[in-house]
Structure 1
Amino acid sequence: MTEVLLEKPFDFVALLRINRPEAKNALNGEVRRQMAGHMAALGDDPAVRVIVMTGNQEAFAAGADIKDMAEVGAIELMQRNNHLLWRAIANCPKPVIAAVNGYAWGGGCELVMHADIIVAGENASFSQPEVKVGIMPGAGGTQRLTRAVGKFKAMLMLMTGQPVSGTEAGQMGLASLVVPDGEVLDKALEIARTISRMPPVAIAQIKEVLLAGQDASLDAALLLERKAFQLLFASADQKEGMKAFIEKRKPTYEGK
């Protein structure tokens, strides 16, 4: 079985589906490797402008595969270099949208937080339950969660392991948008299609500057923004966009 399915639902949009329904889409090594490989390839593919990742109605991903970890030693775990697989997702230059139904627990929640936009079902379930099996998050859960929801909400989730619903995640800032469960993927693809029609160079600069500026001083972040803004005036897409606006027509962006 292919653990991660690749689909092309629209022009310029790629859809990645985690495909381990028998294990509630738990993230074993093969899922991580395939997801990292797809992200690297799609990030380099000019025919792809937006990536959506999802699971199924029961689970986005119900955590790491505990059977794959229970007896492993510290050195073997270190030598697996799983952080390099996660880095391939974090470093993807294209916008990544997570469409979340059901469980997004442990590594699944961490994978969701690698996305740029999160569309959650009202009854989705977000959790970092690692403490319940004697460990802690190891793929960004303590860091990305804190940046998303703040210290006090993060501490509560991390130290109790208790889940929050999709509705609660939206209220906390852990989801961009919360919709009825049956509309999650459609809404994520709608957003992806909208973004895919925007100028790719500008979208890439928005993502790069936002992420680079998060942990910089305000002055440094504003400098990054200003230089990226100026750079975009060298693009053909800027000329096309402004010309189309003046001529009252829809622009056609080529990513140049």
Structure 2
Amino acid sequence: MGGTEHLDVRREGATLVLTLNRPEAKNALSLPMLVGLYDGWLAADADDGVRSVVLTGAGGDFCAGMDLKALAGDQGMGGDQYRHRMKADPDLHWKAMLRHHRPRKPVVAAVEGYCVAGGTEMLQGTDIRVAGRSATFGLFEVRRGLFPIGGSTVRLPRQIPRTHALEMLLTGRPYPAEEAERIGLVGHVVPDGTALDKALAIAERINACGPLAVEAVKASVYETAELTEAEGLAAELRRGWPVFDTDDAKEGARAFAEKREPHYRRA
């Protein structure tokens, strides 16, 4: 199934679950974690049996971002056995954090505990977001004299109102889950310890839909985000019309008429 010492991979039906697994450091980023993440994104898109991905963290936290203690001690990000991967692809860490890579399959984030700095940056690359009530979000980089270079100065103002994005970016303050929901950073706040259950339930609903339609809809949303309305509508037709010609579209109509669940074959 893959994975590394800091990234667990498992299947839940048609959902691939990627778990950041470095709980002793609140799942702070490490090279083994980043390599495992990137390989996980590639594995999900390469496997037609996978229809969605859930990203979560072990030990009650999502991700505390960069390991500042390790960097301060010149220890780097660990995982020397993976250095050859970074040498072969210097962009690997950005792809792992979804800055330079967008998975074809929908990605649902299940957040408990800390999701700050690089954690909040990676969150912006996911499609649907669920948080436990005690979860904490924020971009703390400016408080450490750093820059949130994982994409937040570009993506955050496009995902939430600019005034909230700038406050988060310029103050470096923590945001509780309910405030994150209110400003639109996450879509659901659930009782602590149940974020993964909720995320898996959302993923299961996605999995029940036509996979070709789901992937085309996701692609269209992102492709048209920065287009004019006229350009976007034209692009939507180019993405959407071919879906109607698929066997899956015909199966969906037949299943509705016959009052049964559809059996999609990605055809």
TM norm structure 2: 0.88
For 1:83 and 1:8, locate their aligned partners in 2 and report how far apart those are by CA, in whole Å. 24
Whether the 8 Å contact between 2:133 and 2:178 is mirrored in structure 1 is: yes
For 1:214 and 1:68, locate their aligned partners in 2 and report how far apart those are by CA, in whole Å. 38
Q: What are the equivalent positions in structure 2 for 1:60-71 lying under 5 Å apart? A: 60-70=62-72
Identify which of 19, 34, 37 aligns with 2:36: 34
Whether the 8 Å contact between 1:6 and 1:15 is mirrored in structure 2 is: yes
SS of 1:6's equivalent in the other structure is strand
Which residue is equivalent to 1:44? Answer: 46
Which residue is equivalent to 1:5? Answer: 8
For 2:96 and 2:20, locate their aligned partners in 1 and report how far apart those are by CA, in whole Å. 15
Which residue is equivalent to 2:219? Answer: 208
Which residue is equivalent to 1:21? Answer: 23
| Matched residue count | 252
Question: 1:85, CA displacement in angstroms?
Answer: 3.6
For 1:204 and 1:187, locate their aligned partners in 2 and report how far apart those are by CA, in whole Å. 21
Letter in 1 for 2:238: K
1:240 equivalent to 2:251? Answer yes
Letter in 1 for 2:107: V
Question: 1:201, CA displacement in angstroms?
Answer: 0.1
TM norm structure 1: 0.92
Superposed CA RMSD: 2.2
For 1:50 and 1:84, locate their aligned partners in 2 and report how far apart those are by CA, in whole Å. 18
For 2:176 and 2:224, locate their aligned partners in 1 and report how far apart those are by CA, in whole Å. 30
Residue 84 and residue 248 in structure 1: after superposition, are their counterparts in 2 closer, same or farther (change >3 A)?
closer
SS of 1:132's equivalent in the other structure is helix
Identify which of 172, 175, 178 aligns with 1:167: 178
Which residue is equivalent to 2:80? Answer: none
Return structure 1 stretches of 4+ with deviation > 6 angstroms.
none
1:117 equivalent to 2:128? Answer yes
For 2:155 and 2:174, locate their aligned partners in 1 and report how far apart those are by CA, in whole Å. 16
SS of 2:110's equivalent in the other structure is strand
Question: 1:132, CA displacement in angstroms?
Answer: 1.1
Which residue is equivalent to 1:126? Answer: 137
Letter in 2 for 1:23: A
Identify which of 218, 229, 232 aligns with 1:218: 229
For 2:137 and 2:145, locate their aligned partners in 1 and report how far apart those are by CA, in whole Å. 19
Residue 247 and residue 180 in structure 1: after superposition, are their counterparts in 2 closer, same or farther (change >3 A)?
same
Letter in 1 for 2:39: G
Whether the 8 Å contact between 2:95 and 2:101 is mirrored in structure 1 is: no
Deviating more after overlay: 205-214 vs 87-96:
87-96
Letter in 2 for 1:172: I
SS of 1:7's equivalent in the other structure is strand
